[in-house]
Amino acid sequence: MLTRRSFVALAGMGGLAACAQPPAQPVTRAVMAPAKTHPPLPEFYGPITTEPWPIPAIPDGTIAPRLWRQEVDNPFPDRPRGTIVIDPDAALLHFVEGPDRAMRYGVSVGAAGFAWAGKAHLQFCRDWPRWKVPAAMIERQPNLAPYSVANGGMDPGPDNPMGARALYLFKNGKDTLYRVHGSASPQELGKAVSQGCIRMLNHDVIDLHDRAIHGSSVVVLGTARRAAQN
């Protein structure tokens, strides 16, 4: 028989059951993918102490592996040995070693409005060149007037934007005013940032300088960016 006392007890238990929280559900959290990291740079991007001015090591993680100096299958087998082919869209420079192989380097290229394309030849090279600012650049940036051709340019050294080496491009016997030169700004590699010249890591432009053949062809391919702007 259900007595009043039993009823009250059962009712109390029912109330407790009704007030009880359901079992806690496990909290699901999105798993964050680890930050993309690049493998350590090759040893040849370490410090260089044999130059007139020391060249510091390139910090790990600064440049993507595809922009590292590396020997690759030659994508331009019809070009003679010594030809330099620059692809601005890919931010790559190839030095043709032979029919089958080429040395590939990452580069920075001309910003919109400053890019140049065509065929030239390598007239000469310079170690630690002076920077002689063209008149057209001084018109855009008057603060560079102290480094004009008339004033003798900027002295060589680690603060000179021409870097450790420069390759001078001529066409039909005339200076194009475009250069392939070094840079101390590895974070800009692969980007369109220059006033038209082709920038390389100082480590890489030294290597290219040692391979380059004076008088050889330099081919700068047209860019999809410029075609889209026209």
List the domain boundaries for the chain: 43-128+163-223
Digit-coded pLDDT (tens) for 123-159: 999 999 999 998 988 999 999 999 999 999 999 999 9
* pLDDT reported for residue 194: 77
Give the fold, CATH level 3, of 43-128+163-223.
L,D-transpeptidase catalytic domain-like (2.40.440)
Asked if 181 is an active-site residue, the reply is: yes
Asked if 19 is an active-site residue, the reply is: no
Average pLDDT over residues 185-205: 92
* pLDDT reported for residue 50: 98
Kindly name the residue from 121, 197, 203, 209 that is annotated as catalytic: 197
Structure tokens at 203: 């480590």
Kindly name the residue from 121, 181, 203, 209 that is annotated as catalytic: 181
* pLDDT reported for residue 182: 98
Distances 222 to 110, 114, 118 between C-alpha atoms, Å? 12, 13, 7
- Does residue 33 have a pLDDT over 70? no
* C-beta atoms surrounding 173 within 10 Å: 7
Which of 106-115, 190-199, 219-228 holds the top average pLDDT? 190-199
* pLDDT reported for residue 195: 76
**Sheet strands side by side (includes 198-201):** 70-73, 101-106, 92-96, 84-87, 217-220, 118-127, 165-171, 174-183, 198-201
Nearest to 86 by CA among 210, 186, 204: 204
